[in-house]
Amino acid sequence: MNEKYMKVAYKEALKAYNKKEIPVGAIIVKNNKIISKGYNNRQKKYNLLGHAEINAILLAEKKLKDWRLDGCEMYVTLEPCNMCKMLINESRLDKVYYLVPQNNDTNKEIKYIQTNDCKELQNRYKEILKQFFKNLRDNS
């Protein structure tokens, strides 16, 4: 796991947060090079599929001109939802690293690895998540 890549995913999550989207960011890396980035944009695009992971996968597929992402790894701030996990499996990503877990079933076909190497970044991200949902409750 590379902390440098997780920091980039975190910056993508901040973009979502600043646009009043659930703050999730994702990047895809191949051969130690970032090939795509994504953040949540469901509300802004009125698109159910506007998850950070899906946005990053679509950009990576376009860049590589292939739907198969063999040899690629994803770094994402929040453990992917079950829908995203299905697409991750279909895209053949090798590994997925995430900062914060969710309470959902982990698909065992891909290695989902919760990183504990980035405690400071993990704590900052948890605070952003808390603040986002607090703001959502306060404004409803």
Among 21, 53, 73, 79, which one carries the catalytic annotation?
53
DSSP labels, the chain: --HHHHHHHHHHHHHHHHTTS---EEEEEETTEEEEEEE--HHHHT-TT--HHHHHHHHHHHHHTSS--TTEEEEEEEPPPHHHHHHHHHHT-SEEEEEE--SSPPPTTSEEEE--S-HHHHHHHHHHHHHHHHHHHHT-
Active site residue 21: no
Q: Show which residues are catalytic.
A: 53
